[in-house]
Structure 1
Amino acid sequence: MEQPVLGNKRVLLRPMQPSDLEVLLEVALEPSLWEVGLGRIGSREDLERYMQAAFREREQGLCLPYVVIDKETGEVAGSTRFCSIVEMHKRTEIGYTWIHPRFQRTGLNRAMKFAMLQYAFETWGMNRVELKTDERNEKSRNAMLGIGCKQEGVFRHHMITWNGHLLNSVYFSILREEWPEIKERIFGKYDF
């Protein structure tokens, strides 16, 4: 599966490469990114394992990992990916998103989600895009609702986090037929 570069006026999403280790490490070592959620990157070795897993899944056609670049500053802000790709059923998930706190609440995440959703529905032809988060992550849940996602339900004790907590996953989605209205209502007021 070929991985395209995505973006708009605000954000550039380029395919993650092994050479991105150093620039991503500066972001990934921010402890606040890992307070709530499934995983944690606390060292160079953790990030190396994380990236290697992403590269293996990309080779298997299961994910497309990206480096997120803020076009306003030119800085690497974090990472995201299309994951849980099921081509046969035309569905994917947007996940594994972590953005350094200094880029949060700046519009970067919204621009990134717009670029990804637009590609998924308008170019890739997906029928469904899923997002999920830890039930405790109120900020992430509100962000998903804020981009027009519909909350579908909670998978109780769905996963075990890096520190042994039983995580309840809250699932959200956007369907292809919902996208035109969401695109206009939610994203239409932005100059991406």
Structure 2
Amino acid sequence: MSDSATLFSSTPTLEGPRVRLEGLAAAHEADLAEAVAVGDLWQTWYTSIPSPDGMAAAIRQRLDWQGAGLMAPWAVVSQESGKAVGMTTFCNLVPETRRLEIGYTWLGRGVQRTGVNAQAKLLLLTRAFDELDCIAVEFRTHWHNVQSRAAIARLGAKQDGVLRNHQIGRDGTLRDTVVFSITASEWPTVRLSLTERLARRA
């Protein structure tokens, strides 16, 4: 694996007032299984969230991808409770052109719309642009995941387009994937917007 691939797939601890992003590990399984069980979050049809029983396998899969230099997986840990409340990753890593996607993200219902997502994204985007010198960061979501599309737009990402019939869902339905991105030139404005948004929640 090249040095750049190793760097892009590494998972240093990233810390903010509300959230700590820790390199995903088997030790997070119990907390994450508990988080997805609330409201049967894992059964949401338009996204792919591990089930409580499938959490250990999902963690192993992400760690295998990390070992191959394909992903940087984190557990999202609440500073308030000290518990892991979700997952997020850098994926579709292209270190040679300094691009990546923030994806495979989910948060337990109890921390949605609390500033946890905005804080986690600020930490991830700071690493991507300021530490990895990315020229663009991408986000993808299901056309029918209206909540996710709105959250990505609130970050300041711009919609690049829609990939029609891009994937086949676990229930056999066809997924149209909406693609967003933030470029390096947009990052200072996005950072300011996110920082002020979080300050208003303090």
Question: The TM-score by the shorter chain falls in which range?
Answer: over 0.9
Contact 1:38 1:159 in 2 (8 A): no
Q: Which residue of 1 aligns with 2:71?
A: 63
Matches within 5 A, 1:1-192: 1=6, 2-30=10-38, 31-44=40-53, 46-191=54-199
Consecutive unaligned residues in structure 2, runs of 5 or more: 1-5
TM-score normalised by structure 2 residue count: 0.88
Cα deviation, 1:71-98, whole Å, max 9, x if unaligned, reads 1222221111111111111011111111
Cα deviation, 1:54-112, whole Å, max 9, x if unaligned, reads 01110111111111011122222111111111111101111111111110010000000
Any idea what SS the aligned residue of 2:114 has?
coil
Consecutive unaligned residues in structure 1, runs of 5 or more: none
TM-score normalised by structure 1 residue count: 0.93
Alpha-carbon distance in structure 1 between the residues aligned to 2:30 and 2:78? 17
Alpha-carbon distance in structure 1 between the residues aligned to 2:161 and 2:25? 34
Question: What percentage of residue pairs aligned between the two structures are identical?
Answer: 30
Alpha-carbon distance in structure 1 between the residues aligned to 2:182 and 2:70? 19
CA RMSD of aligned residues (A): 1.6
Q: Offset at 1:182?
A: 1.4
Any idea what SS the aligned residue of 1:48 has?
helix
